[in-house]
């Protein structure tokens, strides 16, 4: 069972239009916006519009959502000019892995050579 999104969840607030963000993509399932602390020239976060606390709450019924996530990542990478050069996709699951916001999100990073 997935926990509901807390009212203070910043990503839920961005999806709802209650918190400012530079939105680069939005559809009925996903919202993508620029990270406010970018770790690369291109650093975009892709989040489900519905609150999902982490990757730990994903199961088989989420396959269409995950397929959309990666299609959107490829689209954004192409739009950002990093699709052919190479890019990194990062998902942290839980605080021990470095997840700082308890809302599933995918980091699209590119525009520079990535280290190990």
pLDDT digits (tens, 9 = 90+) for 65-85: 999 999 999 999 999 999 999
Torsion, CA 63, CA 64, CA 66, CA 70, rounded to 10 = 130
DSSP at 104: -
Q: Does 116 fall in a domain?
A: no
Please indicate whether residue 6 or residue 106 has the higher confidence score (pLDDT). 106
pTM of the model: 0.93
What pLDDT shows up at residue 2? 54
What pLDDT sits at residue 1? 46
Dihedral sign of CA atoms 96, 32, 18, 40 in order: positive
Domain assignment of residue 22, yes or no: yes
Q: Is residue 71 part of a domain?
A: yes
Q: Does any domain span residue 54?
A: yes
- 3-class DSSP state of 110: strand
Residue 6 has pLDDT above 80, yes or no: no
Q: With bands split at pLDDT 50, 70 and 90, how would you rate the model's confidence at 91?
A: very high
Residue 92 scores a pLDDT above 70: yes
For the chain, the domain total comes to 1
**Would you please indicate which residues are annotated as catalytic (active-site) residues?**
105
CB-based contacts of 47, cutoff 8 Å, min separation 6: 11, 14, 15, 30, 31, 32, 33, 103, 104, 105, 106
Q: Report if residue 61 sits inside a domain.
A: yes
Residue 95 lies in a domain: yes
Q: Does residue 60 lie in a domain region?
A: yes
Residues in CB range of 97: below 8 A, 6 or more apart? none
For residue 37, give its domain range: 10-110
Give the CA-trace dihedral at 26, 32, 34, 38, to 10 degrees. 180
* Residue 15: partners with Cβ closer than 8 Å, 6 or more residues away: 31, 47, 49
Looking at the domain assignment, is residue 115 inside a domain? no
CATH code at position 29 = 3.30.428.10
């Amino acid at each position: 069972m997935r926990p509901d999104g807390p009212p203070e969840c910043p990503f839920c607030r961005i999806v709802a239009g209650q918190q400012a963000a530079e939105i680069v993509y939005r559809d009925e399932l996903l919202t993508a916006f620029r990270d406010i602390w970018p770790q690369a020239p291109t650093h975009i976060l892709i989040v489900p519009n519905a609150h999902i606390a982490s990757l730990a709450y994903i199961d088989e019924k989420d396959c269409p959502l995950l397929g959309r996530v990666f299609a959107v990542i490829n689209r954004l990478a192409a739009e950002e000019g990093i699709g052919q050069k190479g890019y990194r996709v990062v998902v942290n699951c839980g605080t021990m892995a470095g997840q700082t916001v308890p809302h599933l999100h995918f980091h699209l990073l590119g525009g520079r050579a990535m280290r190990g």
